[in-house]
Structure 1
C-alpha cells in the first residue's frame, strides 16, 4: 500500500504538471492575474482544480466497485496509450504558436467588455455598500473575481485529458496518493501561471509540452500494459 501511495503520488504529479502547462486553464489563470488581484485569481483557480481532482479521484476509486478491477485496469491502459498518441499528434501537427492563448485571451476580453458595460450604471450608487461588504470575510472570499476564476477553471477542466487520466489513475493506484500528487501539481502550475503572467505563458513551447506529455502517457500506458500481462 505504501508503494502504491508513492507511485500514485509521483505519477499523478508528473502527469498533472505536463498536462496543465500550456493548457487553457493555465493561460486563463495567467491572463486573469494580470487584470485582477492575484490572490483572488489564485484561490479561485486552485479551488476549482482541487474540487475537480477530488471528484475525479472519487469517481475513479468507485469505478472498481461498479466494474471489475481487470476491466478498469484495461481502460486505464487504453486511456494512457490513447492520450500519449494524441499528445504526440498534437506536437507534430501544431504550428508552434499559442493558439489556445489567443483563444482564451479573446474570450476574456469579450467577458470584460460585457462586465464593463453592465457595471457602468451601478458604480456610483453602490460604492458605500461595496466598501462595507468588502470588509466581511465571506464577501472577500466569494468575490466576483474568485467566482469567475473558479467557474472558468472548473468548466474548462471538465472532460480534459488530465481529468480522465486522474480517474484512470485512481482506479489503479492509491487514491490518496493520486489526490496529493494532483493537488500539488495543480498548485505548482497555477502558482506559476498567476505569478509569471502572460510573459511566462507566451514563452511556453507548446510542441515541447505536447511531446513531453505524450511520451509520459505512453510510458504509463506501457507500464500498465506490462503489469496486465504479468498478472
Structure 2
C-alpha cells in the first residue's frame, strides 16, 4: 500500500467513525434492528452507506478536474475547519445526540403506526392486489431491506460526513478514502445494529463530539500548511 493510499485510508477511517457515531443514520439502524431482522437491516443500511461513500469520493475526485486544484484545496481546508468548529459547538451545547435520537424515534414510530394501521384495515383481497402491483424491485429485495436502504441513503445525503468525504477525496488518494470510508461505515453500522442504542448511551456524546471536532481541525490545519 503506497503512502498516499495509506494516508487517505487512515484519515477517512478516523473521520467516518467519529462522524457516524450518534448520527441520525446510526440511530436509525439501531431502531430498525430492534423491530426487524438484523441481517436485512444491516445489509440495507450498509449498502446505502457504501453507495453514498463511493458517490461522494467520485464527486471529490472529479472536482479538481472541473475546478482549479488551488480552489478545491482551499475549499477543502475551509470545510475541515468549519466542520471542526461545528462539531465542537455541538459538543459544548450537548444537545445534538438527544435531539437526533428523539427525531429519528418519532419519525420511525409514525411510520410504523401508519403502516400497521393500514395493514389492519386492509382486506385479504386488497393485500393480494397490492402484491400483484408490487414493483419488480421489491420482488427481488425485501421491503425491510429497501426501507433500511432508503432511510439511510436519504438521511446521509447532504450530511456533514458526506461533505467531508467529498472534501477529503479532493485532497487525498480516492482509493484510500473509499477503503477507509467503507470500513468505517461497516464498523459503525454493525455496532448500531448489534446494540447501537445502548452503545450510544454508554459512550460520552461530548467526548465523541470533541474528538471529531479536534480531528477535523487537525485535518484543516494540515491542509492549510500543505502545498497544492
Asked if TM exceeds 0.5, the reply is: yes
**Gap change, CA 1:197 and 1:161, over 3 Å in 2:** closer
Q: Which whole-Å CA distance do the structure 1 matches of 2:27 and 2:85 have between them?
A: 24
> 2:82 maps to which residue?
82
> 1:167 maps to which residue?
166
Q: With structure 1 as the length reference, what TM-score do the two structures score?
A: 0.89
> 2:183 maps to which residue?
184
**Gap change, CA 1:199 and 1:124, over 3 Å in 2:** farther
Matched position secondary structure for 2:203: coil
> 2:154 maps to which residue?
155
Moved over 3 A (4+): 121-127
CA contact (8 A) 2:26 2:196 kept: no
**Gap change, CA 1:107 and 1:67, over 3 Å in 2:** same
Q: Which runs of 5+ in 1 are unaligned?
A: none
CA contact (8 A) 2:49 2:152 kept: yes
Q: With structure 2 as the length reference, what TM-score do the two structures score?
A: 0.91
> 1:113 maps to which residue?
113
Shift of 1:186: 0.2
> 2:57 maps to which residue?
57
Shift of 1:30: 0.3
> 2:16 maps to which residue?
16
Shift of 1:203: 2.8
**How many residue pairs get matched?**
222
> 1:206 maps to which residue?
205
> 1:36 maps to which residue?
36
CA contact (8 A) 1:40 1:146 kept: yes
Residue by residue, what CA displacement relative to the aligned partner does 1:67-96 show, whole Å, maximum 9, x if unpaired? Answer: 111111111111001100111011111248
Q: Which runs of 5+ in 2 are unaligned?
A: none
CA contact (8 A) 1:98 1:202 kept: no
Shift of 1:201: 2.9
Q: Which whole-Å CA distance do the structure 2 matches of 1:96 and 1:161 have between them?
A: 13
CA contact (8 A) 1:98 1:206 kept: no
How big is the alpha-carbon RMSD for the aligned residues of Structure 1 and Structure 2?
2.2
**Gap change, CA 1:55 and 1:95, over 3 Å in 2:** closer
> 2:215 maps to which residue?
216
Residue by residue, what CA displacement relative to the aligned partner does 1:169-210 show, whole Å, maximum 9, x if unpaired? Answer: 111111111011000000000000000142223333221111
CA contact (8 A) 1:33 1:41 kept: yes
